[in-house]
């Protein structure tokens, strides 16, 4: 007797977006988090969440976009700091320190890009 409804094996309905060999991104993220373990830091968990299920090219583009955004923000904050020196010396110094921190984060993000690409490849 034939079943109505065209279910999969054992009467399971197919999951939308799920093809054999291709799992949905949320399942990839869950599997990557499970591999991480319970002793992982918050930053490690967030990094896995951000790159799980992405290709090497997507991670490279993400790192480039973030580092360029940090460099642009550093330049903008440094420019604002120049104008703040006329208002108050402390405000100018604080904004230039903030610009230096943003610049440091941009260089660090760019330097860690290849390691993030390898991690994304390992999580696939």
pTM: 0.67
Q: Within a domain: residue 6?
A: no
In a domain, 90, yes or no: yes
Range of the domain at 118: 25-33+41-123
In a domain, 58, yes or no: yes
Q: What Rg, from alpha-carbon coordinates, does the chain have?
A: 23
Please indicate whether residue 5 or residue 116 has the higher confidence score (pLDDT). 116
In a domain, 4, yes or no: no
At 19-35, the pLDDT tens digits run: 655 666 666 666 666 66
Instruction: Supply the pLDDT for residue 117.
Output: 87
pLDDT 10s digits, 31-72: 666 666 677 787 777 877 788 778 889 989 999 999 999 999
Determine, yes or no, domain membership for 103.
Answer: yes
Euclidean distance between CA atoms 25 and 94, whole angstroms: 41
Q: What's the domain count of the chain?
A: 1
């Amino acid at each position: 007797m034939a079943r109505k409804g065209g279910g999969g094996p054992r009467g399971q309905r197919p999951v939308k977006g799920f093809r054999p060999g291709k799992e949905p991104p949320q399942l990839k993220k869950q599997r990557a988090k499970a591999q991480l373990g319970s002793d992982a830091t918050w930053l490690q968990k967030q990094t896995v969440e951000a790159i799980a299920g992405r290709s090497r090219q997507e991670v490279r583009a993400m790192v480039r976009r973030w580092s360029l955004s940090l460099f642009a923000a550093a330049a903008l904050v440094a420019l604002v700091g120049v104008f703040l020196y006329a208002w108050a010396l402390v405000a100018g110094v604080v904004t230039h320190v903030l610009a230096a921190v943003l610049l440091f984060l941009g260089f660090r993000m760019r330097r860690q890009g290849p390691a993030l690409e390898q991690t994304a490849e390992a999580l696939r």
